[in-house]
Chain A
Amino acid sequence: DSGVTQTPKHLITATGQRVTLRCSPRSGDLSVYWYQQSLDQGLQFLIQYYNGEERAKGNILERFSAQQFPDLHSELNLSSLELGDSALYFCASSPRAGGSYNEQFFGPGTRLTVL
């Protein structure tokens, strides 16, 4: 158990809908990262937050947004869902914003299925 929690574990929804994925980082970690894992794209970085502020952005679609709250939990919002958004969404956390010893620990993931 990494200490990172994600809810829900599974989500099944229809095209065009909007969903919210939630992540609670390990105690004491200030950075939260979101990654997407799909069969065709592999594991891809979406976005990072550090202590409530957006830190880095990756291949995140405009239909997707995220935020980190004062209690450091984070939410990833996916809207106007398409079939191709079906994937495993992982959250990871680390103590710092960066640094050579900044290990990232992953949550169990949310499996999103868009029908």
Chain B
Amino acid sequence: SQQGEEDPQALSIQEGENATMNCSYKTSINNLQWYRQNSGRGLVHLILIRSNEREKHSGRLRVTLDTSKKSSSLLITASRAADTASYFCAATMDSSYKLIFGSGTRLLVRP
């Protein structure tokens, strides 16, 4: 079973609004990565944040990490219809560095 839980499971917003997705995990992590998946297609790597980092930015994406709360959030600003996809957080938690995925958030951006 997955270690990560994401909320909300589904999010519907208007184009131009911001979208925030949250991810919680259960054990200490090495890093946490966010991925986007369009309807049954491949996973696109968005951003990686290390356990000793608190915030990272990439274009319209902002990721925060709170290791004391074992949680991370992904903020997409000024959303576009093309942002419609499922978003997954994935953490590496031990020396193997395999990814443990959350359950994902389905984002719908209405034009």
User: For residue A104, which residues in chain B have a CB less than 8 angstroms away from its CB?
Assistant: 33, 45, 99
Interface residues of B (CB under 8 A from A): 1-2, 30-31, 33, 35, 40-45, 48, 50-51, 88, 90, 92, 95-101, 103-104
Task: Check B51 against A100 for contact (C-beta < 8 Å).
Answer: yes
Task: Check A43 against B96 for contact (C-beta < 8 Å).
Answer: no
User: For residue A101, which residues in chain B have a CB less than 8 angstroms away from its CB?
Assistant: 31, 48, 50
Given B1, B51, B96, which contacts A55 in the complex, CB threshold below 8 Å?
B96
Interface residues on A, range: 20 to 34
- Taking the closest CB of chain B, its distance from the CB of A14, in whole angstroms, is 22
- Taking the closest CB of chain A, its distance from the CB of B83, in whole angstroms, is 18
Q: Which of A68-76, A77-85, A106-114 contacts B (4 or more CB under 8 A)?
A: A106-114
What are 16 residue pairs bridging A and B, where the CB atoms are less than 8 Å apart in the complex?
A2-B42, A2-B44, A33-B99, A41-B1, A43-B88, A45-B99, A48-B96, A55-B96, A56-B98, A58-B98, A99-B30, A101-B31, A102-B31, A106-B45, A107-B42, A111-B40
